[in-house]
């Protein structure tokens, strides 16, 4: 183990030199009322929306770890479990930014073992050192084969784009700088190619990744996109009483196959998959892949201000925001939220209250034009969405366009 220790010491010395004297600029400071404010304020653990298949993204940034004498690692473990427990019934992805881990701030191996929770579907280790790779190979025989398949090493941030929605990630500034440094140090001096092939023109039957207007024009002026009307009809018939509906993921390849069928204009029979979570994930994926969010970019700043509105006036303010939407977006939003209100009416059985549904759908209904959604931005988005679901009839009752469709 002498060589391993030397390798580790070299990595630590290099990172000690790069260690920031101040918290990374991308760290989001939580509200003072947060039960773990003393730990959360460092920005070590962040919830960063969903990936493309409905799985929650959890970020762990080593560069945000202060020296061990400044942080109670037991409290950090409790905070990590507190964060993950909110999604314990959901599948989640963990992205671990290794840069910044040093001897002065490193948790123990026992701590790491206790931090593991169930339902982890994938672990991405970003900027791994040789030490991490060697240690992993040593301990691999002691770790379950199932867990081993979840691990992916990511040498550069650009590689994450092949696995998840990179735009939703909260990447600390120090990690961004470290990535640039690594790419510049490549032997050929050129950064790894992050280019994707030029996009092909969408098919006339395309359903995912195209605008509501495009779908309407190519589907005989159907006001509600076929994917939405199809999944909502199926879920309303067979999924309303399914516990944890919209909180579970489905096999990634299965979702890709269903998307392909839709995009080719071929029929989709969800009964063939014998899994009601497939249409649930497809609905969320459809919303997430819209070029512009269903609630439009324009209302994002208005949604962010909802916490500044007195509690007793928030419903009427949400009503004003929604009624300002363009007609087509309003009709589709009313259709979807009417369905989610129906789902919430069965919450005694399905455990999906307006609050739970808001946590799942909020980030899929509105997001900023540029950049990702920060942790602090999630709270107003979730509160806004919860009001739309819980007070559906008040929020949507006044505006009734002639072309509206109800679920």
Among residues 221, 300, 206, which one has the least CA distance to residue 259? 206
Hunting for tokens 């006036």 — which residue is that? 313
Mean pLDDT, residues 305-322 taken together: 96
Give the neighbor-by-neighbor strand order of the sheet with 92-97. 45-50, 56-61, 92-97, 120-126, 151-154
Residue-wise pLDDT for 10-34, tens only, equals 444 444 444 443 344 344 455 666 7
Residue-wise pLDDT for 154-190, tens only, equals 888 888 877 777 766 778 888 888 888 888 776 554 4
Residue count of the chain: 407
Domain boundaries, the chain: 2-184, 212-396
Hunting for tokens 């404010």 — which residue is that? 37
Question: Rounded to whole angstroms, how far apart are CA atoms 329 and 333?
Answer: 6
In CATH terms, the superfamily for domain 212-396 is Rho GTPase activation protein (1.10.555.10)
Residues 6+ apart with CB under 8 A from 381: 303, 304, 362, 363, 365, 366, 373
Question: Rounded to whole angstroms, how far apart are CA atoms 366 and 300?
Answer: 6
Mean pLDDT, residues 105-132 taken together: 72
pLDDT tops 80 at residue 197: no
Among residues 388, 363, 364, 389, which one has the least CA distance to residue 377? 363
Q: What does the radius of gyration of the chain's CA atoms come to, in whole angstroms?
A: 23
Supply the angle between the helices 354-365 and 327-344 in degrees, to the nearest 10. Answer: 150
pLDDT given for residue 123 in this prediction: 82
In CATH terms, the superfamily for domain 2-184 is CRAL-TRIO lipid binding domain (3.40.525.10)
pLDDT tops 80 at residue 218: yes
Q: Is 245 left (phi over 0), alpha (psi -120 to 50) or beta?
A: beta
Q: How many helices (H) and strands (E) does the chain have?
A: 18, 5
Residue-wise pLDDT for 249-303, tens only, equals 788 889 989 999 999 999 999 999 999 999 999 999 999 899 999 999 999 999 9
Question: Rounded to whole angstroms, how far apart are CA atoms 362 and 344?
Answer: 15
């Amino acid at each position: 183990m002498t060589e391993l220790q030397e390798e580790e010491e070299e990595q630590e010395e290099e990172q000690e030199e790069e260690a920031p004297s101040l918290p990374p600029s991308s760290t989001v400071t939580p509200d003072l009322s947060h039960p773990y404010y003393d730990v959360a304020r460092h920005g070590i653990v962040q919830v960063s929306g969903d990936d493309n298949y409905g799985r929650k993204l959890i970020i762990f940034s080593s560069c945000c770890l202060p020296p061990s004498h400044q942080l109670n690692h037991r409290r950090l473990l409790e905070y990590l479990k507190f964060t993950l427990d909110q999604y314990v019934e959901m599948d989640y992805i963990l992205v671990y930014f290794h840069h910044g881990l040093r001897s002065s701030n490193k948790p123990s191996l026992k701590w790491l073992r206790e931090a593991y929770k169930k339902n982890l579907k994938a672990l991405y280790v970003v900027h791994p050192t040789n030490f991490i790779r060697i240690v992993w190979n040593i301990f691999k025989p002691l770790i379950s084969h199932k867990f081993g398949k979840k691990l992916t090493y990511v040498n550069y941030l650009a590689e994450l784009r092949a696995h998840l929605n990179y735009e939703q990630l909260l990447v600390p500034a120090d990690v961004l700088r470290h990535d640039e440094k690594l790419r510049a140090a490549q032997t050929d001096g050129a950064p790894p190619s992050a280019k994707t092939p030029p996009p092909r023109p969408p098919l006339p039957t395309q359903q995912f990744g195209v605008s509501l207007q495009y779908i309407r024009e190519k589907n005989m002026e159907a006001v509600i996109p076929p994917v939405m009307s199809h999944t909502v009809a199926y879920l309303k018939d067979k999924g309303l009483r399914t516990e944890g509906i919209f909180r579970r993921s489905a096999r990634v390849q299965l979702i890709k196959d269903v998307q392909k069928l839709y995009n080719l204009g071929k029929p989709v029979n969800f009964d063939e998959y014998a899994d009601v979570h497939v249409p649930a994930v497809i609905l969320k994926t459809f919303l997430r892949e819209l070029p512009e969010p269903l609630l439009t970019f324009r209302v994002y700043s208005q949604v962010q201000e909802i916490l500044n509105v007195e509690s007793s006036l928030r419903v009427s303010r949400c009503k004003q925001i929604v009624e300002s939407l363009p007609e087509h977006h309003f009709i589709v939003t009313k259709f979807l939220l009417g369905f989610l209100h129906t789902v919430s009416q069965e919450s005694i059985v399905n455990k999906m209250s307006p609050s739970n549904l808001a946590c799942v759908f909020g980030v899929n209904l509105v997001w900023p034009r540029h950049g990702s959604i920060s942790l602090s931005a999630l709270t107003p988005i979730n509160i806004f969405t919860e009001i739309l679901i819980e007070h559906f009839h008040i929020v949507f009752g006044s505006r009734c366009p002639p072309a509206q469709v109800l679920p």
